[in-house]
Amino acid sequence: MEAFQLLCRGGARFDKQRFKENLALFDSKKTASHRAEKSVSENAELPTELDFFKYAKGGSGKRKAVEIEDEELETEVQRKPELDHDSNDNAPEKKRQRVTTKGSDVPPPIVSFNDLQERFNLPKRLLSNLSSNNYVNPTGIQAHAVPILLEGRDLAAISPTGTGKTLSYLLPVMSSLGVPMSNSKHDGSDGVRAVILAPTRELAHQIHNECLKLAEGRKWRIVLFSKATAATLAVKSVRDKIDIIISTPLRLVASLQDGKLVLNNVRHLVLDEADRLLDSEFISQTEEVIAACTHPELQKCVFSATLPAGAEKIAMSLLMDPIRVVVGLKDTPLPLIVQSLRYVADESSKLPTLLTYLSQPYNPPILVFTSTQPRASSLAEQLILNSVPNVDCLHAGMTKKEREDAVSRMRKGESWVMISTEVMARGMDFKGIRGVINYDFPTSVQSYVHRIGRTGRAGREGLAITYFTNEDASYLKAIANVLSQSGSTVPEWMLKLPKPSKLKRRQMGKVNRGDAVSKAGNIGRSLAIKRKDMVAGSKRRKAKDKDE
């Protein structure tokens, strides 16, 4: 880490003037590497040398669809293309996204944000803040979720990554709150009126920034809950004037347990990345926050790009007479992301594969996911030692300041290759991310969907490459199904792999890879030996087939 910090802080900045020519290489919309990756995915017939699983033979050519849980659809509405407002960004023509809703008396969707003024008397200021932030037309999830929430209903909303879920809840929450507490006359119902929970500090910060955009021009008190703000909010008179708190569950629970926070006036509770907030790591904290929100008129809503059956069951049990909205297919990325799976044999082949990728023209910035914090630091070190420019790193083991600086460098476009862990997988919105590389295999289908969802956002195209080794092979089918379901072409043999058991699926991506990534220098020999063995094995099999 020391070497990484030293090199990164000192020499990893990119001099755009000096590298003008190199920069021009990245301007072309579709680089050679992009095309190459696509063709790998599309034309991938399993080379005989690599047919360890022996699936190349006998492929039927037919794609198998993933089982979809969404069978009981009550209404189906064809929506306008997702994010078709994005015309000034040369966004390509989007595929129509199917929207399915389930529940009683579902309010009709809006067609434009202006509808909200007629139907719900949306404050003019909110409307003008929308347009000053270039939110011209609602996205699919916004069109459906906003009226549902404005009618005071509980909601479970599932919509692909980068489709504008944040605004889907911020807009109705702020509209329903009406006037800021600081402007309202004391009516005996003081105290925080809305709470938004997110699983990571970075995401809470980002939601806070989005909220401030909508709050412009009015004296809303919107607090990003931290150690410092927790101390200030311990004073009742300060707390009573707060409109919205945005926080991670742990932070809030600490204050609730100390008796320094009261949430009995909360009218709106939002769980963003709900399946994460309801998983085993967070659930007890999330439940504690929910239990503290005791107001009888509490409205609850959950949002995520993924909501596996178990999490959905818990979510539904928390909501009252809820409406469920699903945009597209559950747990499926947008077709805008060109996805491919790349065989890299073993750990030691990963770094050379990545270095080769980065030595050819590619579209920066890209995000590279590793399975652990030490591996993220180690990979960043290796890339810097191999002279890859503008490498950065972000994981939860870094200090708050280091994390904030890394996010800020990413937002400013100073980082070209950001190495990270699951901490960046959910919700983070860096509009310009062109590609995601899963250096270490994702730990679940949900992890895959969220990780690759950092690219292809707000109507833009993206590229996602997932490295897999022999050890990951038994989990390949689950991810291959996701690719297939979202329209990426997958080699047949992958879809024919045996389905991993539930127990096995839980172990996905949890291979013991060691803390340091294998260095590029060591790979030459071992890779050569491996290849030799593979070719020999393949020859043996062929000879055996002939004899029979």
User: Interface residues with ligand ATP (CB under 6 A)?
Assistant: 85, 134-135, 138-139, 142, 159, 161-167, 305, 427, 429, 431, 453, 457-458
Query: Rounded to the nearest 5 degrees, what angle is found at the Cα of 445, between the Cα atoms of 35 and 138?
Result: 75
Given the complex with ligand ATP, which of 31 and 159 has the nearer CB atom? Answer: 159
Given the complex with ligand ATP, which of 249 and 374 has the nearer CB atom? Answer: 249
Query: DSSP string covering 292-313, please?
Result: H---TT-EEEEEES---HHHHH
Smallest gap from residue 112 Cβ to ligand ATP (A): 10
Is the bond preceding residue 365 a cis peptide, omega within 30 degrees?
A: yes
Query: Rounded to the nearest 5 degrees, what angle is found at the Cα of 319, between the Cα atoms of 288 and 325?
Result: 130
Given the complex with ligand ATP, which of 265 and 486 has the nearer CB atom? Answer: 486
- Count the Cβ atoms, other than its own, within 10 Å of residue 65: 11
Smallest gap from residue 161 Cβ to ligand ATP (A): 4
Given the complex with ligand ATP, which of 21 and 93 has the nearer CB atom? Answer: 93
Given the complex with ligand ATP, which of 277 and 495 has the nearer CB atom? Answer: 277
- Three-state DSSP class for 269? strand
Distance CA 134, CA 88 (A): 10
C-alpha R_g of the chain: 25
Smallest gap from residue 457 Cβ to ligand ATP (A): 5
Smallest gap from residue 99 Cβ to ligand ATP (A): 14
Query: DSSP string covering 491-539, please?
Result: -HHHHTSPPPPHHHHHTTT-----SSPPPGGGHHHHHHHHHHHHHHHHH
Distance CA 192, CA 197 (A): 14
Given the complex with ligand ATP, which of 139 and 474 has the nearer CB atom? Answer: 139
Smallest gap from residue 130 Cβ to ligand ATP (A): 8
Given the complex with ligand ATP, which of 200 and 518 has the nearer CB atom? Answer: 200
Q: Which residues on neighbouring strands pair with residue 466, listed in sequence order?
A: 341, 438
Smallest gap from residue 101 Cβ to ligand ATP (A): 17
Which position's Cβ is nearest ligand ATP?
A: 164
Closest C-alpha to 481, from 455, 444, 512, 427: 444
Q: Which residues on neighbouring strands pair with residue 195, listed in sequence order?
A: 245, 269
Smallest gap from residue 85 Cβ to ligand ATP (A): 5
